[in-house]
Every structure is written in structure tokens, then in C-alpha cells.
């Protein structure tokens, strides 16, 4: 069986992420028997909750609409324990250690521990340090850490955090999560690229005109202005999610789908990114902020009017950029990326445009391969075909594959998949420190360039960003490819 024994210690157990994503993910693993009889979860946070109250919260987060899950949810929640915890108080770690040991005995776990940091990032280092000083790591079984983003806000802070973590955990024990790597269609990029000689042979500068990555969101900053004001779209989305997708699109073929082989090619892809000077970064990256607009007759606030946002804030809610790589296979191929809040709709899609060109039939059109990551999941590929009727007239045909919504709903959600992999000891789809260091270095130059700017572009809520983001492509004869 694939059952895993573990005491899972959740820092941030009362938080929004735990409630929305982590408990449902653990429940999914429970329903598959990965977590079964030999596990317990200790939720910790500041507030004083009883075990009973906590179990109610857990049940509530996994209940859903299906009644037949109720008994299962009840049994699942009985494995949850709550510990009120002040992350700076050493004595609290002693209590936590004792509770973990007691539950380890009670559920015959055998020493495995999974620590999950899912709370305010300023405490990540403090917790790691205390786990060591109060000797929480066990001598038998595994000790693994899953850590959420943000992993620092620039290279120096990320390095400082990493140093604190590696004082307690070895690299093989650290699972730095990027939930985009748990998405089916993000993984499918690799299947498409390396599973098809048809695509593999043309995946280079001779045939590719450009690569585009769009992570569009319809929502605004929601209740997260406090965090978002310190981050912005570049740090919130580009340094992590966009960069990971970019690596999948441009990295060399790994020798196998193992953690070591995948991290090796990914890291090489990041190494080969063409590093801009600040001047070049300013010319190739555009930041912008949404302004008030009426969407479907509803008044939407501009970013600066949102609760908790400074009235003269220069925080980017949108980024568009042109990234170049020095990887020989892609020399000269621009990679256009964009992401933002309050765009027209939620859609993550990636397009690779293959060059048209001269054919015996005349000029062939550019052909697009678009991979739909979410909410639609699938891909479309255009090929030039022959127009019906007389003559030899080329016409683009579009092949369209989408996963069935019911099948998508039945597949594990990103968090379930990733936590399952961490429990199984598979680091393939987690970030190695090297990758974070590389992506922060890349992004820090852009931040530095922007810090010298006194203004910011704007776009009305409900649009695809400022005109400048379109001009960025148009000046070299490219344009955004954006599918319904
Ligand atoms: C998170 C960002 O990492 O990703 C959020 O902090 C963003 O601002 C979210 O909304 C998007 O994730 P998804 O899975 O909804 O595309």
C-alpha cells in the first residue's frame, strides 16, 4: 500500500490557506488511503482553540456538498489536534514536541514528521531555528519541511531565510512549494514537449517565433493589501509561477523525470536567462496599476482606493515583460510574459508561435500551440491545411483538445498532488534553493530599475493591461495571442 505514516505539524493551522487548500488536500489523500490510520495533524496558531472546535473547522473545510463524505470527514477530522502556539516562545516548542511524541505513540507513526509553514512569512526563520534548538526533529523516520511562498522578497532576504532553514534542515528535507507545479497542465507542458518527437524537433529558434505566458486574474487585491503592498505582481507571480512555467518551456530535455535530472535542466535554463542591465530592464518590463471602472454595471475600485493601499502606491498590479535567453536553442526568440489582477478574466495560458513562411502553396501562416492551464485545461494546435474546393489554397485548421470538466474535477487538485509527493519524498516538483536564488537575481534587477521610476502605467479594471504592454510586442512585429 502507499500509506504514509506521519505526524504533520501545521504552522498557520487557523489560516485561510489551510482552510481553503491544505485541509481539502489532506482529505483527498485520506480518501485515497495515503493517510489512513497512522497519522495525526497538529494545527498551531496564536488563537486559543479547543481540539473540538478545530475539528469542526477542519470538517467544515472538507465537507463540500456530498453527503456521503460526512462520515469520512468526521473520521478524518478526529486525527486533528490543536495547539495554541507563540512562535517566539521556546517553551511552546517543548509542549509541541511532547504532543507530537504522544500522538506518534498513539497512532504508531514511527517517528515521521512533516512540518508545514503556512503562516506569515516573517516567522518562517524563527520557527526553523526553534525546531532545532528545542530538538523537535526525530531520530527515527523522516523529517520534512514544506514551506509556502513568499520565500523572501529579494535575493538577500531569500538567502537569509534559506540560511535559517538549512541550519535545521538539509536541502533533501526542504520542500519549497510553488503550487503552479502541481497543476495538471503545467506538468502537461513537459509531456507535450518531450513526449512528442513531432514537437521536440521544432522546439527551437529555427521554428519558433515567440513564446508567450499569460497569468490573468479577474480578482483585485481582495483582503490581502497588507501583503500585496509589499510584493506586487512581479514578486507575487513572476519570480515564482511565471518563471517556473518559463523553465518548463525552455529547459533542455531531462534524462529522466527524476528530481535530480529535472532540477539540473531547470537550473541551467535559469542560468541561461539573459541578464538585463537596469536600463534594459526598464525598457523591457512594464509595470502598471488598475484604476476604477464599471464592469457589468458594477463599480470596481481602483487599486489605490482599495482598503489598506497607500493613496500614492506605486505597487505593480500588472507586469508585462520581454525575456531573452542565451540558451543556444532559443537565441533571439523573445519570451513575452504578463500577469495582473483585475484583467478581463481568469485564464492562464501559454502560447508557442511557430513561424509560417514560404511553401509551394504560397505564404504559410504562423501556427500557434496554446496550452490552457486554467480554468480550461487542454491545448489547441493550428496546422495549415487545404481549403475545400478547387486550387491549392492554404488555410489554418485548429485542433482543439480540452479535458472533460468532470475528469478535471475528479483529478487531484495541485495541493493534494504536491503534498502527496512530499509525503512520498519526491522533490521533483518543488523548488530547489538554486532556482530561487536564480529567479530572485533575475527579478531584483527589474525591481531596482522600477525603484528609480516615479510613475506607473495604469489600466482600467477589466482590461488586459496598459497600451504599453501591447506596444512592447508590436514594436518587433509580435502580438499577444489570447484565446477564449
Ligand atoms: C498566488 C498569489 O501565489 O497565486 C495570488 O499570491 C494569486 O495573488 C494566486 O491569486 C493565483 O493562483 P491560481 O492557482 O488561482 O492561479
pLDDT digits (tens, 9 = 90+) for 92-102: 999 999 999 99
Burial of 377 (0-12, 13-18, 19+ CB in 10 A): buried
- Protein residue whose Cα sits closest to atom 10 of ligand 1: 217
- The Å distance, Cα 476 to ligand 1 centre, comes to 31
CA distance 212 to 482: 9
Could you report how far apart the first and last alpha carbons of the chain are, in Å?
43
Is the pLDDT reported for residue 64 higher than 80? no
ipTM above 0.95 for this complex: yes
Is the pLDDT reported for residue 63 higher than 90? no
Residue 25 C-alpha cell reads as 488536500
Based on C-alpha coordinates, what's the Rg of the chain?
A: 24
List residues forming the annotated binding site: 46, 86-87, 149, 179, 183, 217, 236, 341, 346
Backbone angles phi, psi at 188, to 5 degrees: -65, -20
Is the pLDDT reported for residue 154 higher than 90? yes
pLDDT per residue over 67-76, tens digit each?
Answer: 668 889 999 9
Is the pLDDT reported for residue 1 higher than 80? no
Across the range 32-52, mean pLDDT stands at 97
- Protein residue whose Cα sits closest to atom 9 of ligand 1: 237
Provide DSSP, 70-103. HHHHHHHHTTEEEEE--TT-HHHHHHHHHHHHHH
Which residues have CB under 8 Å from 441's CB, separation 6+? 155, 275
Q: Give which of 172, 237, 266, 215 is closest to 446, Cα–Cα.
A: 237
Residue 180 C-alpha cell reads as 503552479
What pLDDT, on a 0 to 100 scale, did the predictor assign at position 65?
A: 59
What is the model's pTM? 0.97
What pLDDT, on a 0 to 100 scale, did the predictor assign at position 70?
A: 87
CA distance 301 to 290: 9
CA–CA distance from 260 to each of 52, 190, 242 (Å)? 43, 16, 22
pLDDT per residue over 400-451, tens digit each?
Answer: 999 999 999 999 999 999 999 999 999 999 999 999 999 999 999 999 999 9
pLDDT confidence band for 120 (50 / 70 / 90): confident
In sequence order, what are the beta bridge partners of 337?
A: 213, 321
- Which atom of ligand 1 is the closest one to the Cα of 224? 8
Strands 293-295, 357-359: pairing kind:
unpaired
- The Å distance, Cα 228 to ligand 1 centre, comes to 12
- The Å distance, Cα 395 to ligand 1 centre, comes to 38
What pLDDT, on a 0 to 100 scale, did the predictor assign at position 68?
A: 67
Q: In the structure, which protein residues have their CB atom closer than 6 angstroms to any atom of ligand 1? A: 149, 179, 217, 236, 348, 374
Query: Could you give all domains of the chain from N- to C-terminal order, each with its CATH number?
Result: 6-148 (3.40.50.720), 181-413+431-474 (3.30.360.10)
In the block, residue with C-alpha cell 489600466: 459
- Which atom of ligand 1 is the closest one to the Cα of 149? 3
What pLDDT, on a 0 to 100 scale, did the predictor assign at position 484?
A: 85
Is the pLDDT reported for residue 110 higher than 80? yes
- The Å distance, Cα 243 to ligand 1 centre, comes to 14
Cβ–Cβ under 8 Å, residues 382 and 372: no
Active site residue 241: yes
pLDDT per residue over 321-367, tens digit each?
Answer: 999 999 999 999 999 999 999 999 999 999 999 999 899 998 889 99
pLDDT per residue over 229-282, tens digit each?
Answer: 999 999 999 999 999 999 999 999 999 999 999 999 999 999 999 999 999 999
What single-letter DSSP state applies at residue 253? P
Query: Which of 127-131, 357-361, 454-458 has the least mean pLDDT?
Result: 357-361
Cβ–Cβ under 8 Å, residues 138 and 420: no
Is the pLDDT reported for residue 385 higher than 70? yes
Ligand 1 pocket test: which of 180, 225, 237, 303 has the largest number of ligand atoms within 8 Å of its C-beta? 237
Collapsed DSSP state (helix, strand, coil) of residue 218:
coil
Ligand 1 pocket test: which of 148, 150, 153, 179 has the largest number of ligand atoms within 8 Å of its C-beta? 179
- The Å distance, Cα 179 to ligand 1 centre, comes to 9
What pLDDT, on a 0 to 100 scale, did the predictor assign at position 458?
A: 98
CA distance 321 to 323: 6
Region for residue 211 given its phi and psi (left: phi exceeds 0; alpha: psi -120 to 50; beta: otherwise): beta
Across the range 366-380, mean pLDDT stands at 97
CA distance 7 to 103: 7
- Which atom of ligand 1 is the closest one to the Cα of 227? 6
What pLDDT, on a 0 to 100 scale, did the predictor assign at position 261?
A: 98
Is 21 or 66 the better-scoring residue by pLDDT? 21
Across the range 465-482, mean pLDDT stands at 97
CA distance 30 to 324: 44
Q: Give which of 60, 61, 130 is closest to 93, Cα–Cα.
A: 130
Amino acid at each position: 500500500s502507499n500509506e504514509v505514516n506521519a505526524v504533520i505539524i501545521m504552522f498557520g493551522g487557523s489560516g485561510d490557506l489551510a482552510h481553503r487548500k491544505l485541509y481539502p488536500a489532506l482529505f483527498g489523500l485520506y480518501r485515497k488511503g495515503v493517510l489512513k490510520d497512522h497519522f495525526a495533524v497538529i494545527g498551531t496558531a496564536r488563537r486559543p482553540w479547543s481540539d473540538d472546535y478545530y475539528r469542526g473547522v477542519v470538517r467544515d473545510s472538507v465537507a463540500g456538498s456530498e453527503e456521503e463524505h460526512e462520515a469520512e470527514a468526521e473520521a478524518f477530522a478526529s486525527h486533528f489536534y490543536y495547539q495554541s502556539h507563540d512562535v517566539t516562545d521556546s517553551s511552546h516548542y517543548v509542549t509541541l514536541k511532547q504532543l507530537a511524541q504522544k500522538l506518534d505513540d498513539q497512532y504508531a507513526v514511527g517517528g515521521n514528521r512533516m512540518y508545514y509553514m503556512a503562516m506569515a512569512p516573517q516567522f518562517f526563520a524563527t520557527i526553523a531555528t526553534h525546531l532545532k534548538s528545542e530538538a523537535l526533529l526525530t531520530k527515527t523516520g523522516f523529517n520534512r519541511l514544506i514551506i509556502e511562498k513568499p520565500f523572501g522578497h529579494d535575493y538577500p532576504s531569500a538567502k537569509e531565510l534559506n540560511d535559517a532553514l538549512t541550519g535545521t534542515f538539509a536541502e533533501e528535507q526542504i520542500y519549497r512549494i510553488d503550487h503552479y507545479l502541481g497543476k495538471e497542465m503545467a506538468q502537461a507542458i513537459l509531456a507535450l514537449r518531450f513526449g512528442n518527437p513531432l514537437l521536440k524537433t521544432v522546439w527551437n529558434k529555427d521554428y519558433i517565433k515567440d513564446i508567450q505566458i499569460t497569468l490573468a486574474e479577474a480578482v483585485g487585491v481582495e483582503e490581502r493589501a497588507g501583503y500585496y503592498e509589499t510584493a506586487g505582481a512581479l514578486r507575487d507571480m513572476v519570480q515564482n509561477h511565471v518563471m517556473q512555467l518559463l523553465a518548463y518551456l525552455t529547459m533542455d530535455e531531462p534524462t529522466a523525470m527524476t528530481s535530480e535530472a529535472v532540477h539540473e535542466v531547470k537550473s541551467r535554463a535559469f542560468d541561461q536567462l539573459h541578464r538585463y542591465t537596469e536600463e534594459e530592464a526598464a525598457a523591457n518590463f512594464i509595470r502598471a496599476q488598475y484604476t476604477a471602472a464599471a464592469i457589468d454595471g458594477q463599480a470596481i475600485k481602483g487599486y489605490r482606493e482599495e482598503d489598506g493601499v497607500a493613496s500614492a502606491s506605486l505597487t505593480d498590479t500588472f507586469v508585462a515583460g520581454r525575456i531573452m535567453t542565451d540558451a543556444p536553442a532559443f537565441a533571439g526568440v523573445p519570451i513575452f510574459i504578463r500577469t495582473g489582477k483585475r484583467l478581463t478574466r481568469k485564464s492562464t495560458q501559454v502560447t508557442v508561435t511557430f513561424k509560417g513562411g514560404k511553401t509551394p502553396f504560397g505564404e504559410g501562416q504562423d501556427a500557434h500551440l496554446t496550452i490552457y492551464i486554467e480554468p480550461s485545461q487542454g491545448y489547441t494546435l493550428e496546422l495549415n491545411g487545404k481549403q475545400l474546393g478547387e486550387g491549392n489554397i492554404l488555410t489554418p485548421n485548429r485542433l482543439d483538445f480540452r479535458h472533460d470538466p468532470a475528469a478535471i474535477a475528479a483529478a487531484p487538485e495541485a495541493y493534494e498532488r504536491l503534498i502527496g509527493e512530499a509525503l512520498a519524498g519526491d522533490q521533483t516538483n518543488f523548488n530547489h534553493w538554486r532556482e530561487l536564488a536564480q529567479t530572485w537575481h533575475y527579478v531584483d534587477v527589474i525591481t531596482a530599475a522600477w525603484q528609480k521610476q516615479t510613475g506607473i502605467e495604469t489600466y482600467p479594471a477589466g482590461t488586459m493591461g496598459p497600451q504599453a504592454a501591447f506596444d512592447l510586442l508590436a514594436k518587433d512585429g509580435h502580438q499577444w495571442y489570447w484565446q477564449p
